[in-house]
Amino acid sequence: MIIDIILPLSLVFIMFSLGLGLTKDDFKNVAKQPKVLAVGLINQMVLLPLAAFGLIYLFGITKEMAVGMMILACSPGGVTSNIITKLAKGDTALSISYTAVVSVASVFTLPIITGFSISHFMGAEAPPINVLSLGIIMFIITAVPVGIGLIVHHKASDFTHRFEPKASKISALLFVIIVIAALTSEWDAFVNNVTALGPGIVSLIIVMLLVGYGSAHLFKMTEGQSVSVAIATGIQNATVGITVGNIIMPTSEGLSILSLPSGVYGILMYLVVLPIVFAYVKWILPKTTTS
């Protein structure tokens, strides 16, 4: 029940809540800053999948787990990345704009890269996958709810201002419930694979945070923009990864093995990113503001 019904519905609500926090100006703002947009998109949609591909081989991750890692790497950021950007005192408006653009773009990129990954890593054991069908499903459960949320924001701004903070909290709670429920249903598989997946996932998070932060400074962005690019690059929407994995390889009960990397990531991401953010705010940010 949780995996087949509640999980997709939860993702729809999470994406709807994301849309509630958007305005048309969020898309216009990044369009007015082509350099900022280009760096963020290249990091998230090109370098991130390539980094995941390399780390898969480096840490010896194979078959379904490798595909699950690639699905995770192709998933857009989410409400979590916007919240963490705010905690890190980054450019939250830019973070929201990135999330909006990448959420729409991933409708096209995720099915294509996932199709390639299944063929590459699983070979003759690969399950049949229709890239077009997966793209349509992605559009329905991600882009459509975001679009509806954007319309509601535009047409009923009073309601949005009252409900959007609550929706964000509900989304965060749903994310935690999904990850816990997913891992509980496949606890043995989690325990058996966390040592294999953990180093690769932690490395992916740290590498992409550094790539995002470094590339932004390379192109002379402000400190706030650099933080936003780093977090947008390093944090993915685990709920999307879990959902897509179960769509491709549904199980009679429990979590698809393709979804396991996203489930592990959903826990490790907080354990890795939050200490880095708190250390940045305490020791690094003060130096950047005084220099």
Select, from the ranges 9-18, 223-232, 281-290, the one with the highest average predicted confidence (pLDDT).
223-232
Q: Using CA atoms, how far apart are residues 225 and 89, in angstroms rounded to an integer?
A: 10
Across the chain, what does the average pLDDT equal?
88
pLDDT of residue 220: 93
pTM for the structure as a whole: 0.90
Residue pair 125/63 in contact (Cβ under 8 Å)? The answer is: yes
Span 31-37, average pLDDT = 85
Q: How far, in Å, CA of 28 to CA of 152, rounded?
A: 18
pLDDT of residue 210: 97
**Residue 124 confidence (pLDDT) above 60:** yes
pLDDT digits (tens, 9 = 90+) for 156-187: 988 998 898 888 788 878 877 777 776 776 67
> Given 3.20.20.140, 1.20.1530.20, 2.30.40.10, 1.10.357.10, which CATH number is that of 2-290?
1.20.1530.20
Place of tokens 């509980």: 184
**CA separation for the pair 183, 188 (Å, rounded):** 9
Structure tokens at 74: 């192709």
Q: What are the extents of the domains in the chain? A: 2-290
DSSP codes joined into one string, 115-158? HHHHHHHHGGGPPP--HHHHHHHHIIIIIHHHHHHHHHHHH-HH
pLDDT for 179: 73
Kindly report, residue by residue over 68-88, the tens digit of the pLDDT: 999 999 998 877 888 899 889
Alpha carbon of 187 to those of 66, 71, 243: distances in Å?
A: 19, 21, 18
3-state secondary structure 175-215: HHHHHHHHHHHCHHHHHHHHHHHHHHHHHHHHHHHHHHHHH
The larger pLDDT score, comparing residue 115 to residue 172, is at 115
Q: What digits encode the pLDDT tens for the residues 188-210?
A: 777 777 888 999 999 999 999 99
Q: Indicate the pLDDT class of residue 103, thresholds 50, 70 and 90.
A: confident
Q: What's residue 99's pLDDT?
A: 85
Please, what's the b/e burial string for 24-46 (b: 16 or more CB within 10 A of its CB; e: otherwise)? eebeebbeeeeebbebbbebbbe
Q: What is the pLDDT of residue 28?
A: 76
State the DSSP string of 45-59.
Answer: IIIHHHHHHHHHHHT
Least confident of 40-54, 147-161, 210-224: 147-161
